[in-house]
Structure 1
Amino acid sequence: MRSTRAAAAMLLCLIFSAHVFAQTSNATLGGTVTDASGALIPSVSVSAINVGTGIVTTVFSNEAGAYQFASLQTGTYTVTAELPGFQTQTRNSVALGVSQQVRLNFTLQVGTVAQTVEVSVAADTLIATSSSSVGTVLPEYKVRDLPLGGRNVMNLLGTAGGTGPTEDNFQGNFAGGRLSAVNVTRDGFNVNDGRYNYGALTSTYTTAPVDAEYGRGSGQVQMVTRSGSNQFRGSAFWTNRNSALDASKWFNNFNGAPKDYENRNQFGARLGGPIIKNKTFFFVLVDEQRYMIRQTFVGSVLTPLARQGIFRFFPGADNQNVTQLNPVVDRNGNPVRPSSATGDLQQFSVFNRDPLRPGYDPTGFIEKTLLARMPQPNDYTIGDGLNTAGIRFTRRVKGYDLAGSNGNDTNRDQFNTRIDHNFNAQNKLSFVYTWERGRNMSQQAGIANWPGGYNGVNWKDPRLLNIALVSTLSPTVVNELRVGWKTEAKLSRAPWYVGRPSGFGPEEEKVETGEQAKEAFALLPKYNGIPLQVVTTLFPSNLVDWTAGQGTNRSADSPLFTYGDTLSWSKGVHAFKVGGEMRFGHSISANDSNMTPIARLGAGGPAVTGIDNTAIPGLTGNSQTAARNLLTDLSGSLVSIQEGFDIRTPTDTRTTSTPSSKTRGRSTRT
């Protein structure tokens, strides 16, 4: 889900190993305490002070001289070891990354407690001997400061070793496996796509010696949301990429085309600080993006005479546009006699030749709605030139995103917050919530191919909630309880979608219906009050983009509830960890493809009469087909009406028409 996009709010850990870190995203710090002779020292007080929050966590070395902090929040620490009769030793700048297991040993010298030895620890001197994992830890400042065009933190994966493209360069590999096999967690919670496939499910068994808390391949990506500190710190940001500042592409210059237009604005603000000093802290991030491009698009339309039912042709020649071998028009649409023609330009009316199709569609939809809104042609590089041509215009796309993937060229709003509260030295609570909203265009939802048309929309509303409680039950026992919930609602709405009719399905949808959707819905012809999508033959019905496979309504969601607990226990020189995690997830989807009946015009019904080379000498076979298609489109000659519907029970008849069968499952009626 794209809730991981808030790059400035997170720490990122990329791990490549068959052995992986614990499910918790907190770090583990441990080691031994010895004297100058190498003898192990018990009962040494070891304190870890979080530099940002001032929170102090204290443990004691056991009879084997070993100490362990089983669950420390990521950040920079000052670690101190002290015991009466010995000099106090302090290690400064101990940086703990996501899920790191770090070993830090102390050697105490004889002296008084008042004598202190301070040592600054470089990040590369920390020894992670308790794990064989090999990985890269990116601290918060690197995640925040590294330039990212889409502000997608997952794009940082390419900066780590162990990543690269596959042979076909289609999907990258990560730690030797596919990207789809990478386990991604945030604040200790799984945020992988929770969608379940239809049909029988297969199981994959991992034979490598992975920890019980992990699976899903040898590569792991772990992220932690940034926390507040004892000081108020905040910033605002804005970045802009505008084609006005870019050079034009070489091919645009070669073809004399204008420079492509692109405008990307990314802006937001972050603020963190104390609610109660040394006790309660907050962090808030607002991340926004607005993206717009302008595309030169050419849609199909009828020429002025063809709209009146007048078909033009050159005897003995097929109609071809200016890009073809024997064009019948020039670039301005003026007729040009091709060399293969046996006579001059001719024309005839397709009406009043076929008794079944004497004129325009009697409902008035074709003439009064479709043709009335059809723009005049200005491009003769498509169509046949004389009867069909193109409308070239600049199409504005405000955010583009597919329903089943996460793109960077989107319009989105995102809100992230984290609250950390320390009840006392033994109990610490963290709360993380992320909400995002995306409203974008795509071909799946429908994009108008004529000026003044209507566009569909893809909605995405991912949300994530994490709560974790870390409790020190005794000097040697630490417990971490985790509860989480995430949802990844995705919806595609056709341009004419105004909501689900009452009585269809167990839930009644309330949608954000705009005036444009109402206008587009009003354009649809109705049969007994039921709206119909009309699909023509010669030209697409681009008022609301009714071409096949587009303009459908669909939705999907995969809510996931996670409950986990991890218990850490140290005994002597050994550290033990036991825990479990339960995930309750399911997938919900709906696809209204063909639920709104589709009326198809064209050949397939009674044969067209009166349009052939006997009645019209010199009319070639291709021209005969084109002229007949013009007649069937203008006259509204219906081939079929197709409707998809769901039958929930053997007696379910709640469809927009009478079902043709009464069996379980999804059916299509024609």
Structure 2
Amino acid sequence: MRFSLIVLSSVLLLAASIPSQLSAQSITGTIVGTVTDISGGAVSAATVTLTNEDTNLEYRAAVAATGEYVAPNLPPGTYTVKTELAGFKPSVIRNLRLLARRTVRADVVLEPGAVAQAIEVSASAPVITSENATIGNVLESQTIRTLPLNGRTLDRLIRISAGVTTDSAANPRVAGSAYWGGIQFSVDGVTYNDMGNGGGAYSYRNGLATLPSVDSISEFKMDSNNQKAEYEGSVSATVVTKSGTNGLHGSVLWFNRNKEYAAKNFFATGLAKPPFNRNEFGYSVGGPIVKNKTFFFHSYEGLRERTARTNTLSVATQAMRAGDFAGLPVIIDPLSGLPFEGNQIPASRIDPRSKALIEKVPLPNRAGAGPAGTLTNYTVNLPNISDVNRWGVRVDHRFSEKDSIWVNLNYSRGNPYFVAQGYPEGYGSWENGGYSTQSANITHSHSFSPTTLNEFRFGYLRHASVRQGMNRDFDPLSLFPDLYPVSYGGLPNININGHVAIGDYGGSDLTPQLTPQFINNLTHIRGRHTIKTGFDIANNRAASFPATAGMASGLANNAGLGRFDFNGRFTNNNPTGAAQPAHGFADFLLGYPNVTYRSTTSPVGLFYSTRYSAFVQDDWQVTPRFTLNFGLRFMVQTAWKERDRTQAQFDFASNQLVVPGDR
């Protein structure tokens, strides 16, 4: 029976074991120091005031009996540290740069003298980090903006960071970390990971375009070893966005790269130079709403990219499509076992479905190699289209010396987003390979006293990828009625030995991943000890809508639209020798596949899991030269479940499908 469905694959299996890559990430910093007099004796009654030089906001630190002071939970920025005590000259340390998740030491020596006199010192950057053992590197705003990045996305910074050993944007391996789930991404302390792929939320062609604009980033930091208990995992990528200051600042950008100075593809010198035009544009603005109290920062960045993918393929000649195999290996009639007369398949023997499908494949446009020029005889420049828009806004407000709050909203979307694949025009590529990402972050800080502080954060991430093929209005059942009904149409997958395949991807509607996250951190300073404890709860939800897994999907034998493979076994005149490409195409014309598949459209899958995590840690300043960091983190993640029990596994012992929850 020609084109009969020999092998059936009736269930599309979805990977329900989705890893969770969520972690609470503090983005504040700490300034520590020891206050002594000129003899080296501890001064415990001094007052230490820390002032953010950009916003003029003040923070106070208590000095212990041993002379040590600790100022935790400080926003990243540049600070002035002023120390005062009656009978001593005030000490002022300016330009002290504090980075996210870093501890900076600023020791103070008070000299006897009048209050009207003061000693001012300009701080210099430390050569090494002496207050914790974390290994990492930091890129600040100025460095990020001035680096000549080939594409304004953060993965370009990851590729040049110390310890990175792979070129993957979303799943880099850092200092020997694991590939899947080996790195935790966060923006302003809230997760930015893709649950399904175990790395950063990403776009298919433009890396980490889901993250905020480069111009809105204050710091980018990668820690690769010896992280404290408050951080999950061995490797983290931390993004800290800019906040407004007392000064009104803004910027406008436009970057263009085009084809004028680009070379042609070596294998396509006979074609016109492929299109290439990339425009990146945007702006940022930040400043005060109420000076010394309320600040804003807003950014927008757009990408309009038009590039091309050059494909060199093997397509059937006009003669072969008419059944004429002159000059090619002998073609055997499967019914008689004898060669076709004149190596010509009669028109009456050509399957009408084959004739309809081969019309989707273009004719050769260049002299080919191999017998009768049947190999590498077609070259095409397929367009890639990427339109990306990224928005971000942040508002910081201080109610009093004890309470402050800030809110950060980010939005990024790739649409339209045409992704060329290794096929001709008209089929096989992704008509929509885009994404949509939104995040929200609300953080409230409260100071119970100079030695006890609390930070509560609510974060929300929604990330959704789109994978939709071409020809979605084509119903494959019009050619093969025995296929299962499909949610997304497209050409069936036709694999012909030695020839370019025919088919479409299929796909599904946008499949969102939702992660609301609750984080709380409490810090208490007791003498030489800075004790920090906290928890975070993340509720992970991943939706999978009905999907048709067609060609190149990697699921269910790529047979959601039907799959038919032709290896030339039926028309090969030499049973002991390998079939040639001509034999594969002859089998296709006759409608004799060597294997066929079909699979159902997947059901709706609504997966959920909850992760609970808590920690306690102590930073013990044994001496001004020796700090001991120790702590414990405990995490429980519930097993992934499907809400409506649409998933099943096959139990080989009982030969039955087992649905979760059945007994």
TM-score over 0.5 for the pair: yes
Question: Secondary structure in 2 aligned to 1:385?
Answer: helix
In the alignment, the residues of structure 1 paired with residue 381 and residue 100 of structure 2 have an alpha-carbon distance, to the nearest angstrom, of: 48
Match of 1:547 among 495, 503, 507: 503
Q: CA deviation at 1:97?
A: 0.6
Which range moved further: 373-382 or 34-43?
Answer: 373-382
Unaligned runs of 5+ in 1: 1-20, 198-207, 321-344, 400-410, 498-517, 614-619, 654-660
| 425, 429, 438: which one aligns with 1:463 | 438
Matched position secondary structure for 2:54: coil
- Structure 2 vs 1, CA of residues 612 and 438 (structure 1 numbering), >3 Å: closer, same or farther? same
Specify which of 482, 485, 493 is matched with residue 468 of structure 2. 493
Q: Structure 1 pair 138/46, CA: closer, same or farther in 2 (3 Å)?
A: same
Distance 1:112 1:458, change over 3 A: same
The CA deviation at 1:228 is 1.0
The match for 2:33 among 16, 31, 34 is 31
Residue deviations 1:106-143 (CA, integer Å, cap 9, x gap)? 12222232222221111237x85432334333222112
Letter in 2 for 1:318: P
* Structure 1 equivalent of residue 99 of structure 2: 97
Residue 79 of structure 1: how far off its partner (Å): 1.6
Structure 1 partner of 2:590:
632
Q: How far 1:26 sits from its partner (Å)?
A: 0.5
Q: Deviations over 1:596-635 (max 9, x none)?
A: 4416486999x89xx999xxxxxx99699468436425xx
Partner Cα distance (1:95, 1:159) in 2: 23
The aligned runs of 1:219-618 (5 Å cut-off) are 219-246=235-262, 261-307=275-321, 309-314=322-327, 318=329, 346=342, 348=344, 350-352=346-348, 357=349, 361=352, 370=357, 375-381=362-368, 385=372, 390-399=377-386, 411-439=387-415, 440-442=417-419, 449-450=424-425, 455-497=430-472, 518=473, 525=479, 527=481, 533-536=491-494, 546-547=502-503, 550-553=505-508, 556-589=511-544, 591-593=547-549, 596-598=560-562, 600=564
**In the aligned structure 1, how far is the partner of 2:165 from the partner of 2:374?**
49
Tell me if structure 2 keeps the 8 A contact 1:252–1:258: no
> How far apart in 2 are the matches of 1:379 and 1:74?
60
- 8 Å CA contact 1:22, 1:99 repeated in 2: no
Q: 2: CA distance between counterparts of 1:41 and 1:185?
A: 40
Match of 2:229 in 1: 212
TM-score (norm 1): 0.68
What amino acid is the match of 1:313?
A
Question: What is the letter of the counterpart of residue 433 of structure 1?
Answer: L
Provide, for residues 387-436 of structure 1, a one-character-per-residue CA deviation record: whole Å limited to 9, x for no partner. 8984433322224xxxxxxxxxxx42211222111111111112122221
In structure 2, give the amino acid aligned to 1:432. Answer: N
Cα distance 1:593–1:65, how it changes in 2: closer, same or farther (>3 A)?
same
Describe the shift of the 1:604–1:552 C-alpha distance in structure 2 as closer, same or farther (beyond 3 A). Answer: farther
Aligned to 1:165: 165
Moved more, 113-122 or 387-396: 387-396
Aligned-partner Cα distance in 2 for 1:105–1:82 = 13
- Match of residue 206 from structure 2: none
Query: Which residue is equivalent to 1:118?
Result: 120
Return the letter of the residue paired with 1:279.
Answer: K
Does the 8 Å contact 2:301/2:390 carry over to 1? yes
Q: Check conservation: 1:350, 1:631, Cα contact below 8 A.
A: no
Partner residue of 1:49? Answer: 51
Matching residue's letter, 1:642: R
Deviations 1:199-257 (A, max 9, x none): xxxxxxxxx9863212312x3332211111111111111222223124567x579x777
Pair 105,348 (structure 1): closer, same or farther in 2 beyond 3 Å = closer
- 1:382–1:458 CA distance, 2 compared to 1 (3 A): farther
Measure the CA separation in 1 of the matches of 2:588 and 2:24.
68
Separation in 2, partners of 1:63, 1:108: 16
Identify the residue that residue 323 of structure 1 maps to in structure 2.
none
Give the whole-Å Cα distance in 1 for the aligned partners of 2:508 and 2:537.
Answer: 33
Conserved? CA contact 1:494–1:553, under 8 Å: no
Distance 1:623 1:346, change over 3 A: farther
Distance 1:89 1:521 in 2: 79
Per the alignment, residue 17 of structure 1 pairs with none
Query: Do the aligned partners of 2:442 and 2:457 also contact (CA within 8 Å) in 1?
Result: yes
Distance 1:432 1:662 in 2: 50
TM-score of the superposition, structure 2-length normalised?
0.69
Aligned residue identity for 1:431: V
Partner of 1:505: none
Residues 251-297 of structure 1: CA distance to partner in whole angstroms, max 9, x if unpaired? 579x7776565333222211111122111111112122233223333
Residue identity in the other structure for 1:289: L
SS of 1:577's partner is strand
Cα pair 1:466 1:483 within 8 Å, conserved: yes
Note if contact 2:568-2:583 (Cα within 8 Å) is conserved in structure 1: no
SS in 2 for 1:379: coil
For residue 221 of structure 1, what is the amino acid of its counterpart?
A: A
Whole-angstrom CA distance in 1 between matches of 2:396 and 2:568: 69
Q: Is the 8 A contact 1:420 1:429 kept in 2?
A: yes
Q: Per-residue CA shift, 1:336-380, capped at 9, x if unaligned?
A: xxxxxxxxx95645134xxxx4x662xxx665x556665443224
- How far the C-alpha of 1:191 sits from its partner, in A, is 2.9
* Rg larger in structure: 1
Distance change (3 Å), C-alpha of 1:22 and 1:488: closer
Shifted more, 452-461 versus 481-490: the winner is: 452-461
In structure 1, what residue type is equivalent to 2:347? F
CA contact (8 A) 2:566 2:584 kept: no
CA drift at 1:471: 0.9
Which amino acid is 2:73 matched to? S
CA distance in 2, matches of 1:563, 1:389: 57
Q: Is the 8 A contact 1:437 1:462 kept in 2?
A: yes
How far the C-alpha of 1:178 sits from its partner, in A, is: 4.3
Query: Contact between 1:478 and 1:567, CA under 8 Å: does it hold in 2?
Result: yes
Gap regions ≥5 residues in structure 2:
1-22, 199-224, 332-340, 551-558, 605-641, 647-654
CA distance in 2, matches of 1:495, 1:665: 34
1:53-92 paired onto structure 2 within 5 Å: 53-92=55-94
Separation in 1, partners of 2:539, 2:71? 31
Structure 2 counterpart of 1:511? none
CA distance, structure 2, for counterparts of residue 150 and residue 564 of structure 1 = 33
CA apart distance, 1:59: 3.2
8 Å CA contact 1:532–1:599 kept in 2: the answer is no
> Structure 1 residues 376, 186: closer, same or farther in 2, change over 3 A?
closer
The aligned counterpart of 2:638 is none
Structure 2 partner of 1:141: 142
Q: Distance in 2 between matches of 1:578 and 1:557?
A: 32
SS at match of 1:643: coil
- Contact persistence 1:300–1:383 (CA under 8 A): no
> What is the distance in 1 between the residues matched to 2:100 and 2:579?
71
Q: CA deviation at 1:551?
A: 4.2
